Amino acid sequence: MRKPTIQDVARRAGVGVGTVSRVLNNHTAVKGATRETVLKAIADLDYTPNPHARRIAGGKSYTISVLLPVVTTEFYVRLLDGLETAFQEARYDVAIFPLLDRSRLERYLGSHTLAYQADGLVMATYNLTALLSERRVRAQQPTVLVDAFATNVDCAYMDNVTGGRLAGEYAATLPGELYAIWVETELDQLFTTRVFEERRSGFLGALGAAGRTLRAEFTASFDALAARNAAVTLLDGAQLPCTVFASADLLAGALLDEARLRGLTPGQDVRVIGFDDQPWAAARGLTTLHQPVEQMGYEAAHLLLSRLGGFRGPPRARRFEPRLIVRDTA
């Protein structure tokens, strides 16, 4: 049997081919009843659009490029899930470009690279304020920042200062010495993020307002081995009982592992507050700051889709706020 065509769908639904096309492209200029009729015809015929024909007819690639630091952490897996859900609903493909280091970021800043051949561009986490003002980020196609803030481009971002403040306000109520572990992100001045700097600012500000101070601070790169080494160093010199703000759940998990290895009881000997609320956090009883990561990605995608749909207004910013989830570890 031959595959059904868009003409077959139109005949079955009793509408024109153009109407079917508008339904397939989620166009708003289709009445609800007509849309349902067309969708039923598509389902009845088991019709699958030809993506190549769609690209040729529309003069678009129907692809979105996503540039992000890495793809191996749970945060970025969740972020991509939110982005891809929205783009797939609009029938766009996603091309992922993990940059990993400065040399790749420099290379992708060139407009000839594959990333810039897509219809739109998503850039995740980078502090691109200087690059945008210097016009080093090409703007031939619509661009949106996610997990980062800028005034001259659409963005969806997490309020990390507020998240740090919430952690600090709660930590200040707990007895014992206070410690913190931060993530080292200053690889260089171009390839950087302000996420952990903002969390630290909010946390220290809250401690200061409560008349509390940190006994010591530690820094680790964002990988499991470095996180475990930081946990070892902290616990070797800690005055127990104590409270530790681990500025990412990856760090908090390593601290819980090391504490249990030493026979310490989390929540009593060492209280641990994380940041992220990763999928495993509830099972481990981790007190942490929940981030609506998937929603942030979904909203960033819709900002970009609206630009692709013709929106020409000023840059928009969508702010997301973490919330404290209190569990057994603190």
Each domain of the chain, given as residue ranges in start order, spans 6-58, 63-158+294-321, 160-291
In this prediction, residue 325 has a pLDDT band, given cuts at 50, 70 and 90, of: very high
291: pLDDT strictly greater than 80: yes
Same fold, 63-158+294-321 and 160-291: yes
Average pLDDT over residues 224-246: 95
45: pLDDT strictly greater than 80: yes
Q: Which CATH class is domain 63-158+294-321?
A: alpha beta
Tell me the CATH architecture of domain 6-58.
Orthogonal Bundle (1.10)
Write phi, then psi, for 67 (nearest 5 degrees): -100, 125
Average pLDDT over residues 281-304: 96
CA 221 – CA 195 distance, rounded (Å): 14
Average pLDDT over residues 94-119: 68
How confident is the model at residue 305, as a pLDDT? 94
How confident is the model at residue 232, as a pLDDT? 97
Average pLDDT over residues 82-110: 78
Tens digits of per-residue pLDDT, 159-200? 999 999 999 999 999 999 999 999 876 544 444 567 888 999
Tens digits of per-residue pLDDT, 132-162? 555 555 556 788 999 888 888 899 999 999 9
CA 269 – CA 217 distance, rounded (Å): 18
Average pLDDT, the chain: 85
Dihedral Cα 213, 215, 219, 225, nearest 10 deg: -130
How confident is the model at residue 35, as a pLDDT? 87
Q: Which CATH class is domain 160-291?
A: alpha beta
Average pLDDT over residues 81-94: 91
In this prediction, residue 1 has a pLDDT band, given cuts at 50, 70 and 90, of: low
pTM: 0.74
